[in-house]
């Protein structure tokens, strides 16, 4: 039985427990064995939580995912009693440990998930690659010379390699969808306000950050979204509740969708690799074969040049906050030697912005988001289809900035977030679906964006695509 668990999604594993075919402890022990077997080659799990996991599995677990093993990213919020180093050397040095769960982690535990480890992430989640100096790179199970994307790349590698079926992830510029694309997984970024950021934060990066999970199946993603969705006390805003459980959207009729296709980067900031163009065009043909209407179209506002400038004001201002919070936790001032060169460069730039600059950036991006929304609302499109990334998964080291020119890494990273980051700004739901492989056998994700608050549309479409072109049987060379 346990030899087959690496191939089962979380829903199937939970069903085994519910039928009495396996115990939660057996599920967790099998996952721990898989982590021990595969992780040395991938460096996905940086904080093993094996003893705590076994203790939890022996306890009174309840919920729809009773006993199912999962990993959580070492960045987004807190998990009680566990290290939280956020890819930072100083926090590792002082041994920072969180003393409480975020609402998200508490809901995952209440649903029955058991955390077997925390996963690698770039420092403060700032890069679309997972290569922090303090913990080293996470390697892609499809090709260990390639990266896993970021900032949820550790979770991506853990799920893709079969260590666990579910990996917690967060997305401020593509950090669910980019690892989903690079690792051949399904990655849904929910709508702004769908999942609470509390209790420690109301929002992050002026509302650009959303949190959810990476999975191998659409049904797992939908079911976990049902677990996590919902307003919590004190939330500054929340998305409207769905008409029915998201799990009910899996297999539901999509109707005939009007889809716009875009295969050039917004503003043509970077060229798009032919494999990534091919992935989107292949998906367009698949959609047409399923009865949908696809035509070259996209919001005109996507090409406005002010977007990146204002986004960087918000991003770098929040980096100042992260550096200050690190200083608070460490109990001393943070200097350039305590963070990576790009982090320090961002924080120095962030300190040049005034409070008025920040408010202007937020207001400018809100106005831009309204112009974006008109394409769905007024022009009648249901979905925008693009590549997830403008390039296939990069060779490790390619996105690591040189110490003497840290902004070079930021510029190089544009190719990996150019299609995804705009929809962090608008707050719309978006997903990467693993429909395509490059000529080298690397996963190439396809990106879909719906109107605001329409995760139901995306989940129905993803389920239809999963049925038409199943991906669950594809396994990378490095697999448990």
The answer to whether 151 is a known catalytic residue is yes
In this structure, are residues 265 and 308 in contact, taking their beta carbons and an 8 Å threshold?
A: no
3-state secondary structure of 116: strand
Dist CA 436 CA 283 (whole Å): 8
- Could you check whether the bond before residue 199 is cis, i.e. omega within 30 degrees of 0? yes
**Of the listed 73, 107, 189, 310, which one is catalytic?**
73
CA dist 378 to 254, 293, 318, Å? 20, 17, 34
Q: Give the angle 359-362-367 at the CA atoms, nearest 5°.
A: 125
C-alpha count within 13 angstroms, C-beta hemisphere, residue 476: 30
Which of 139, 147, 183, 42 lies closest to 398, judged by CA? 147
> Tokens 């058991």 identify what position?
114
DSSP string over 164-232: -SEEEEEESSSTTHHHHHHHT-EEEEPPTTSB--TTT-S-STTTT-EEEEEESSHHHHHHHHHHHBB--
Residue 69, both tokens: 């093993």
* First-to-final CA distance of the chain: 14
Residue 53, both tokens: 């996991």
**Of the listed 152, 155, 175, 463, which one is catalytic?**
175
Which of 121, 172, 177, 118 lies closest to 151, judged by CA? 121
The answer to whether 73 is a known catalytic residue is yes
Which of 93, 433, 448 lies closest to 83, judged by CA? 93
Strand segments, DSSP code E, in 227-326 are: 258-261, 293-296
**Of the listed 6, 78, 79, 151, which one is catalytic?**
151
Sign, CA torsion 294/295/300/305: positive
| Phi–psi pair at 6, nearest 5 degrees | -65, -20
- Could you check whether the bond before residue 151 is cis, i.e. omega within 30 degrees of 0? yes
The answer to whether 438 is a known catalytic residue is no
DSSP string over 29-40: HHHHHHHHHHHH
Partnered with residue 432 across adjacent β-strands are: 187, 447
What lies within 8 Å, CB to CB, of 222 at 6+ separation is 246, 247, 249, 250, 459
Catalytic residues: 73, 151, 175
């Amino acid at each position: 039985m346990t030899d087959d668990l690496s191939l089962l999604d979380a829903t199937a594993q939970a069903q085994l427990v519910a039928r009495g075919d396996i115990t939660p402890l057996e599920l967790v022990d099998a996952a721990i064995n898989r982590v021990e077997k595969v992780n040395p080659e991938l460096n996905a799990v940086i904080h093993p939580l094996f003893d705590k996991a076994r203790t939890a599995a022996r306890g009174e677990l309840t919920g729809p995912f009773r006993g199912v093993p999962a990993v959580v990213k070492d960045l987004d919020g807190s998990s009680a009693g566990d290290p939280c180093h956020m890819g930072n050397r100083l926090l590792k040095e002082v041994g920072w440990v969180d003393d409480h769960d975020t609402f998200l982690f508490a809901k995952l535990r209440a649903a029955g998930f058991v955390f077997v480890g925390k996963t690698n992430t770039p420092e403060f989640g700032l890069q679309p690659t997972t290569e922090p100096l303090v913990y080293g790179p996470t390697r892609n199970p499809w090709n260990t010379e390639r990266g896993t994307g970021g900032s949820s790349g550790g979770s991506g590698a853990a799920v893709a390699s079969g260590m666990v079926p579910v990996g917690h992830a967060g997305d401020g510029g593509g950090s669910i969808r980019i690892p989903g694309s690079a690792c051949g997984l399904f990655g849904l970024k929910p709508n702004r306000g769908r999942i609470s950021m509390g209790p420690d934060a109301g929002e992050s990066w002026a509302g650009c950050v959303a949190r959810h999970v990476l999975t191998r199946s659409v049904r797992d993603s939908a079911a976990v979204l049902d677990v996590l969705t919902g307003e919590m006390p004190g939330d500054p805003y929340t998305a409207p509740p769905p008409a029915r459980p998201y799990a009910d959207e899996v297999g539901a009729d999509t109707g005939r969708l009007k889809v716009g296709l875009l295969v050039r980067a917004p503003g043509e900031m970077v060229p798009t690799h032919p494999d990534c163009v091919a992935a989107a065009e292949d998906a367009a043909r698949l959609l047409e074969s399923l009865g949908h209407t696809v035509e070259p179209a996209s919001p005109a506002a996507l090409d406005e040049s002010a977007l990146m400038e204002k986004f960087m004001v918000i991003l770098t201002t929040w980096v100042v906050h992260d550096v200050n919070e690190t200083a608070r936790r460490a109990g001393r001032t943070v200097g350039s030697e305590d963070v990576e060169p790009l982090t320090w460069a961002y924080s120095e730039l962030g300190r040049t912005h005034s409070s008025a600059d920040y408010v202007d950036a937020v207001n400018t991006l809100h106005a831009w988001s309204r112009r974006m929304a008109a394409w769905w609302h007024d022009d009648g499109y249901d979905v925008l289809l693009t590549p997830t990334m403008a390039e296939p998964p990069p060779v490790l080291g390619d996105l690591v900035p040189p110490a003497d020119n840290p902004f070079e890494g930021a510029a190089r990273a544009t190719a990996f977030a150019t299609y995804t980051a705009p929809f962090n700004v608008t707050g719309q739901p978006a997903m990467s679906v693993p429909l395509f492989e490059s000529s080298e056998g690397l996963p190439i994700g396809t990106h879909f964006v719906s109107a605001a608050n329409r995760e139901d549309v995306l989940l129905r479409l993803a389920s239809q695509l999963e049925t038409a072109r199943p991906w669950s049987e594809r396994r990378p060379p490095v697999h448990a």
